[in-house]
A and B are shown apart, each in its own frame.
Chain A
């Protein structure tokens, strides 16, 4: 079996296996879940290491027909963009499985759904078929809803569940319509993205069609990534979600939307992108500044983290909106880094919740004394969140700022303010209220239950953040060629516009050259 299929199939198969094991074999169920996600992670690490940066075409490619008449296939492969995402996704999934020991009720169902989530999203990241891309994502999304509903917490959880379910379904439906429109308008009778890229290079989709298709995809994917002002599901949902789900969703599944923009919307609809990119830039800035400001006022840690993840997504959108190599590369780095970070953040908040019995920050205080290990990690995570060098987030945000500068200086200035100042305000406030200061008397008796599994999960995520922060070349060498291809497609699109009436032959040739970099 090829490695990529193993990455997808391991969690899915494990989900099937767990489903038939009687529910009272909890230990066995946990072990199976851990082993499956570990296997995925190990293979993901292996393919990441074996991936040859800058080589042409997809690597570790596998394809087979699924529904022939519609041009749907199972097509997985790695390029520079998804290789890092898959690594991130698999590691976070493993970490999520590790911290899921906190679940005490209906363990079996929980793990089945968790494994479905993990397998689904990894499948979405790996898919090069638009249908599979969407299909796997939905496969990951639905368990999210169920899990928030069943294992969620807080008084608000029913409302939160409905909100996240409907909001994300709305986004997903927009995406579905958009993807189908791409399929129909291309007229190549295939959902295969590689084929579509090739086809579009020869015969671009009519500009008039691109103009309405792009916003469909932009807002559809945008909703899935909590693009401002379509973000309100995120804080509510994450505040209610069980730890593992929040980790997987905020860290991994959310990145699907951005990947969709990179894979489908930008390269296939360059004309539409050109028209709508300014809007995306403005909304990205909205994410950054507004998300940050609202985060400043949160008293619940999970809601704070939710808003901070809204804010961070602003960097990714800004990078994409810049349409430069630097910006797109930065956006991908931000996606990966934020994946690790969000996973870490929510894992830690889940842990603190177990310790302190609440996520209300003002009801914690001085906890660093009680939980030095977790506290130290939280400090690190918070610092990473406000873009301190040494963590991967810094690299991504820096690249985005540099990449976007030429596109629009105001955006960048605002983004820098949001990232450097606003981000610091709310993260440091959180550290101050949760960890620093005198220990609150009612917390005097709490114990630190961090077990080895827990520690390994947290440490894994921190190490990844640090590794990619200190040696960003690992990611960037892989991402850059493909980022170049993406921004190149649009750039040629702009050139085509400038060239005006040169004629379709030249247009085709120029576009082919742009995509040729990828192929």
Chain B
């Protein structure tokens, strides 16, 4: 496989974006909302084609900067799915996102950035791809710039994003300084002098902070509530799904490549961040009244869960995080779809506004309920299995080390609190009487189809998780040989000494 065919998916997406931009210029403005459909369809085609190509097991391109392996592919497909639903969402009822041709184009460009990021083989591509995503999102978040909230959210995202990028670059510089390389494969086996160890550690923490910005993990979680609240609903959906997954895959990659030198560092770092994220997000979410803001906090909690899987350090743990990310993606997409239909894309989403939704639109009520239940981690939906796998990986690596006990304890507390606030939403949907002006809500056909697909996905993943578990463990397994290599290196090291 040549380098260009290796980046074929990304190229396709970029070309698609440009094409839509061109078409958009020519099409009259009334028919431009049509472009989102086209983009969604196109993304679907790319997704399909990703299954038709036979990908190499694991191969590096462009002198090791670009990797094709199971992990990259897993995430690329996840990004494609997320982008597809986001585009459908954008095409629907929300006026302001559909009018411009820019919206689908920007989504596609961000998508391309995400896909590149998933394949990053070193810090260089990591940074560039990450910034591609981030800069695109600055625009997307502030897309409804005629509303003050969207604008404010954009500025906040911009400032915090830029600061964390600075930390990221500094961190990369330190790691580079300590090891002399930016390539992940070389990093893995790069020797570090004792004098440089601290530099390396600080560098890794800063890189974690920079990448954790995408994930919304403590300490760079602070933007999430404001941005989720202010951004248009489809953008929120993309933040919760694609953008968060980018953070996850990059942390997995960095962690995987520095595990040898920084095993305890990662364990402590991830555990502390996970605990803080879960507690912070869950506690702050309790008194929330705006659904989008609530999702912002819950996204912080989710980041914590994802980190727990990584913190357990096992292959199963990382697989669990991947599974949970997928489940979360489905649920978050469904919730944001409902929000954008019920409230409009960039209006405030007061939870009390959901009163009597079961009467106004049973489909939306059921979709919201299912996704809330899935987010709360209750069977038989996807979220339950995700949390189950996470707990399993944590317990599995626990023995009875105090750190992981705390982690599990915090996780239990977090799940409980999240049940509390998710049930608040369900309560508003079902047992608060509808307000007087509760008209029934019109759901377009494409939205209906999208919602049903998401619901089926939630239930399917909950009842028959086997395939996805295999896929996620396969994805993790594809980077495992290198993990095995680590073990060998460690052994050699030991023998040498």
Contact = CB atoms under 8 A, between A and B. Distances in A.
Task: Establish whether A and B are touching in the complex (CB under 8 Å).
Answer: yes
Interface of A: 66-70, 109, 131, 135, 138-139, 142, 145-146, 149-150, 158, 161-162, 165-166, 169-170, 173-174, 176-177, 180-181, 183-184, 208-209, 212
Contact of B430 (A142, A150, A166, A177): A150
Interface string B403-439: 0000010001001100110010011001100000000
B470 to A, nearest CB: 7
Q: What are the nearest 7 A-B pairs in CB distance?
A: A138-B379, A184-B396, A180-B395, A173-B412, A150-B431, A67-B466, A180-B392
Contacts of B466: 66-69
Contacts of A68: 466
B464 to A, nearest CB: 8
A327 to B, nearest CB: 31
Given A162-B420, A165-B419, A177 B427 contact: no
B395 A169 contact: no
Contact of A176 (B388, B419, B430, B473): B388
B400 A142 contact: no
A176 B396 contact: no
B71 to A, nearest CB: 18
B137 interface: no
Contact of B427 (A70, A158, A180, A209): A158
A184 B426 contact: no
B373 interface: yes
Contacts of A209: 400
A478 B427 CA distance: 44
Interface size class of B (residues with CB under 8 A): 20 to 34
Contacts of A158: 427
Contact of A69 (B398, B419, B473): B473
Interface in B436-495: 465-466, 469-470, 473
A184 B384 CA distance: 19
B415 A169 contact: yes
Contact of A149 (B373, B408, B427): B427
B206 interface: no
Contacts of B344: none
A169 B392 contact: no
Contacts of A180: 388, 391-392, 395-396
A169 B380 contact: no
Nearest to A173: B412
A183 B393 CA distance: 11
A220 to B, nearest CB: 10
Contacts of A174: 412
B477 to A, nearest CB: 12
A475 to B, nearest CB: 31
B378 interface: yes
16 contacts: A69-B469, A135-B380, A149-B426, A149-B427, A149-B430, A150-B430, A162-B420, A165-B423, A166-B420, A170-B416, A173-B416, A174-B412, A177-B395, A183-B392, A184-B392, A212-B400
Given A69-B469, A150-B430, A180-B391, A138 B384 contact: yes
A480 to B, nearest CB: 34
B431 A149 contact: yes
A139 B412 contact: no
A169 B469 contact: no
Contacts of B415: 169, 173
Given A173-B412, A180-B395, A142 B431 contact: no
A124 to B, nearest CB: 11
B132 to A, nearest CB: 36
Contacts of A184: 392, 395-396, 398
Contacts of B470: 69
A176 B391 contact: yes
A209 B396 CA distance: 12
B384 A70 contact: no
B423 A162 contact: yes
Contact of B379 (A66, A139, A145, A212): A139
A169 B379 contact: no
Given A173-B416, A180-B391, A183-B392, 14 more contacts: A66-B466, A69-B466, A70-B392, A131-B388, A135-B380, A139-B379, A145-B423, A146-B430, A165-B419, A165-B420, A170-B416, A173-B412, A176-B388, A176-B391
Nearest to A138: B379
A169 B416 contact: yes
B136 to A, nearest CB: 37
Given A69-B473, A165-B419, A212-B400, A139 B380 contact: yes
A166 B431 CA distance: 18
Contacts of B426: 146, 149
Contacts of B416: 166, 169-170, 173
A170 B412 CA distance: 7
A491 to B, nearest CB: 27
A67 B395 contact: no
A209 B415 CA distance: 25
A169 B431 contact: no
Contacts of B395: 177, 180-181, 184
Interface centre among B358, B395, B398 (most CB of A within 10 A): B395
B208 to A, nearest CB: 27
A135 B379 contact: yes
A229 B441 CA distance: 47
Nearest to B423: A165
B423 A177 contact: no
Contacts of A146: 426, 430
Contact of A142 (B358, B378, B392, B427): B378
B259 to A, nearest CB: 22
B420 A177 contact: no
A176 B423 CA distance: 20
Nearest to A19: B366
A84 to B, nearest CB: 26
A316 B487 CA distance: 51
A116 to B, nearest CB: 10
Most buried by B among A142, A146, A174, A208: A142
A165 B412 CA distance: 14
Contacts of A176: 388, 391
A364 B93 CA distance: 56
Contacts of B430: 146, 149-150
A176 B473 CA distance: 22
Given A166-B416, A166-B419, A209-B400, A142 B373 contact: yes
A176 B378 CA distance: 12
B393 to A, nearest CB: 9
A177 B391 contact: yes
Nearest to A152: B431
Contacts of A162: 420, 423
